[in-house]
Amino acid sequence: MELEVLSTALKEYPATIGAETDAKGAFALVGVPDADVRLSYGTGHPSTEGCRYPVVYYSDSDSPPHAATLRLRMGEKRTGLVLRLPPAPEIVHLAIRVIKPDGSGVSRGFVDALLDGLNTESAKTGPDGQAELACFVGLHYQLEAYTFAGSPPGAGRIRDTPVSMVCGKDSGPFTLTLDHQERF
């Protein structure tokens, strides 16, 4: 749950105040100044291990311009504010194999799934280069794999060319080949 402070009597910079929901979905926000605020829940980059929902705004909107703006007064208590979440997204697990150019598996490698350039899902490969990666059905991901190159580990990494896929539509299994090295 997040409350975005849009304006205050003090004309301070915009801020957000977060709160966790309990098992019943109830929440309480404390320390809210006299302000115009917007309530939301979710993220632009959902994760199977974190927040699973895209952003939803009060009242029943999926975009800031259509969201309700509430005016809160210092010490005011409001009840009955409801954010309706869409149905929980379906999660599937992808079979991925990470290999070297010679076809051998990459042990202790890493596989990331990115949404709009941000890493949202990760997995490690086993001794044979196999990994299982969770993703949300219908979302468009970029799959990337890498392993550290050289010693010390900060010397760089060997990585693949990112693979674009739509989870659930492109079911795999996927093979990612580590074909170029980056130094840093």
pLDDT, tens digit, 9 for 90 and up, residues 94-136: 999 999 999 999 999 999 999 988 999 999 999 999 999 999 9
Does 5 score more than 80 pLDDT?
no
- Which class for 30: exposed (0-12), middle (13-18), buried (19 or more C-beta within 10 A)? exposed
Query: Which among 34, 27, 5, 35 is positioned nearest to 17, based on CA atoms?
Result: 5
Q: Could you read off the pLDDT of 135-177 as tens digits, one per residue?
A: 999 999 999 999 987 666 556 788 888 999 999 998 778 999 9
Give me the domains of the chain, ranges plus CATH numbers: 2-72 (no CATH), 91-183 (2.60.40.1120)
